[in-house]
Chain A
Amino acid sequence: MSGPRVIVVGTGPAGVRAAQALVEAGVRPIVVDEGNRAGGQVYRRQPEGFKRDYATLYGSEAAKAQALHRDFDALRDRIDYRGDTLAWNVSAQQLHTVHPASGETHDIDFDALIVCAGATDRLMPVTGWNQAGCYSLGASQIALKAQACAIGSRVVFMGSGPLLYLVASQYVKAGAKVEAVLDTSPAMPPLAALRGLLSRPQLLWRGLQLQAMLKRAGVALLKGITPVRIDSTPEQGVTGVTVRDARGRTRLFAADAVGLGWHLRAESQLADLARCEFEFEPLSRQWLPRIDEDGRSSTAGVYLAGDGVRILGADGAEAAGRLAALAALHDLQQGSERYQAEQGPLRATLATMDRFRQGLLLAFPWPHQQAAALPDEAVVCRCEAVSAGELRRCVRELGSQEVNRAKAFSRVGMGRCQGRFCGHGAAEVIAAEARIPIASVGRIRGQAPVKPIMMSTQEVAQ
Chain B
Amino acid sequence: MIGVQRSDVLIIGGGLMGTTAAFFLRQQHGLSVTLLERELIGRQASGTNFGNVRRQGRDLAQMPLANRARAVWGRVKELLGEDLEFKPYGHLRVCYTDGQAAILEQHARDARPLGLELELFSAEALRKRWGIFSNEVVAGSLSPIDGHANPRLAGPAFGRAARRAGAAIHEHSEVAHIERDGADFVAHTTDGRRFRAAQLLVTSGAWSGQFAASFGEPVPLEARGPQMGVTEPLPYAIGPSIGVSTPIETEGLYWRQIERGNIVFGGGLKGPALADQIRAYVKPDNVLRQLREMRRFVPAFEQVQLLRVWSGIEGYTADWAPVLGPSARIPGLHYAFGFNGEGFAISPGVGEVMAELLATGQTSTPIAPFAIARFA
B305 touching A418, Cβ below 8 Å: no
Q: Is the CB of B295 within 8 A of A409?
A: no
Q: Tell me the dominant secondary structure on chain A's binding face.
A: loop
Of chain B, the residue at the smallest CB distance from A446 is B308
A448 vs B285: C-alpha distance when bound (angstroms): 12
Q: Mark A7-45, 1 if CB is under 8 A from B, else 0.
A: 000000000000000000000000000000000000000
Residues of chain B within 8 A of A452, CB atoms compared: 232, 305-307
Which residue of A has the minimal Cβ distance to B43?
Answer: A408
Chain A residue contacts of B231, Cβ below 8 A: 455
Q: Are B302 and A455 closer than 8 Å at their CB atoms?
A: yes
Q: Give the A interface residue count (CB, 8 A).
A: 29
User: Is the C-beta of A2 less than 8 angstroms from some C-beta in chain B?
Assistant: no
Write out the residue numbers on chain B whose beta carbons fall within 8 Å of the beta carbon of A415. Answer: 307
Answer yes or no: B215 CB below 8 A from chain A CBs. Answer: no
B287 and A409 form a contact (CB under 8 A)? no
In the assembled complex, the Cα of A96 lies from the Cα of B288 at a distance in Å of 11
Say yes or no for A174: interface residue by CB 8 A criterion.
Answer: no
Bound-state CA distance A459–B289 (Å) is 6
Q: For residue A384, which residue of chain B has the nearest CB? A: B260
Chain A residues with Cβ below 8 Å from B284 are: 88-89, 91, 96, 107, 448
- Is A409 touching B156 in the complex (CB atoms < 8 A)? yes
A107, A418, A458: the one contacting B307 at CB < 8 Å is A418
* B residues less than 8 Å from A405 (CB atoms): 40
- Which of the residues B156, B288, B308 comes within 8 Å of A458, measured between beta carbons? B288
Let me know if B153 is at the binding interface, CB within 8 A: yes
Q: Do residues B306 and A455 form an inter-chain contact, with CB atoms below 8 A?
A: yes
A220 in the interface, Cβ–Cβ < 8 Å? no
Q: Let me know if B304 and A455 touch, CB within 8 A.
A: yes
Nearest A residue to B156 via CB reads A398
Which residues of A lie under 8 Å from residue B160 when comparing CB positions?
398
Cβ of A456 and Cβ of B302 under 8 Å apart?
yes
Q: Would you list which residues of chain B between 281 and 309 have a CB under 8 Å from chain A?
A: 281-285, 287-289, 291-292, 294-295, 301-309
Q: What CA separation (Å) do A89 and B284 show in the bound complex?
A: 7
Complex CA–CA separation, A432 to B375 (angstroms):
52
On whether the beta carbons of A455 and B152 are closer than 8 Å, the reply is no
Q: Tell me, in angstroms, the Cα distance from A405 to B152 when the chains sit together.
A: 9
Asked if A457 and B232 make an inter-chain contact with CB atoms under 8 angstroms apart, the answer reads no
Question: Which B residues touch A91, using CB under 8 A?
Answer: 281, 283-284
CA distance A89 to B310 in the complex (A): 13
Residues of B within 8 A of A384 (CB): 260
| A458 / chain B contacts, CB cutoff of 8 Å | 288, 292
Q: Could you name 10 residue pairs across A and B whose Cβ atoms are closer than 8 Å?
A: A398-B160, A409-B152, A414-B308, A416-B232, A449-B307, A452-B232, A454-B306, A455-B302, A455-B304, A456-B291
A446, chain B: closest CB distance, angstroms: 9
> A454 CA to B295 CA in the complex, in Å?
11
B47 touches A448 (CB 8 A): no
In contact, A408 and B47 (Cβ under 8 angstroms): yes
Contact across chains for A460 and B304 when beta carbons are under 8 A apart: no
Beta-carbon contact of B303 and A409 below 8 Å: no
The one of A408, A454, A459 that contacts B304, using a Cβ cutoff of 8 Å: A454
B80 to chain A, nearest CB (A): 13
Decide: B302 and A454 in contact? CB cutoff 8 A.
Answer: yes
The answer to whether A455 touches B40 (Cβ under 8 A) is no
Q: How far apart sit A133 and B284, CA to CA, in the bound complex (Å)? A: 37
The interface residues of chain A lying within 8 Å CB-to-CB of B308 are 414, 418, 447-449
A454-B303 CB under 8 A given contacts A405-B40, A448-B282: yes
Interface residues of B in 131-162 (CB under 8 A from A): 152-153, 156, 160
> Which B residues touch A414, using CB under 8 A?
230, 307-308
Q: Which of A398, A416, A459 is close to B288, meaning CB atoms less than 8 Å apart?
A: A459
